[in-house]
Amino acid sequence: MAKLKFGRHTSAKRALRESIKHQKINRAIKQKIHLLTKQLIATVEKKDKEESKKLLSQVVSKLDKAAKKGILTKGTVRRRTSHLSKSVNGLISGA
Angle at CA 23, nearest 5°, toward 14 and 19? 15
The per-residue pLDDT for 95 is: 56
Could you tell me the pTM of the whole model?
Answer: 0.82
**What band does 4 get if pLDDT is binned at 50, 70 and 90?**
low
pLDDT (tens digit, 9 = 90+) per residue, 19-51?
A: 999 999 999 999 999 999 999 999 999 999 999
pLDDT (tens digit, 9 = 90+) per residue, 8-18?
A: 778 888 999 99
Asked if 31 contacts 73 with a C-beta cutoff of 8 angstroms, the reply is: no
pLDDT at 88 over 90: yes
Can you give the C-alpha Rg of the chain in angstroms? 20
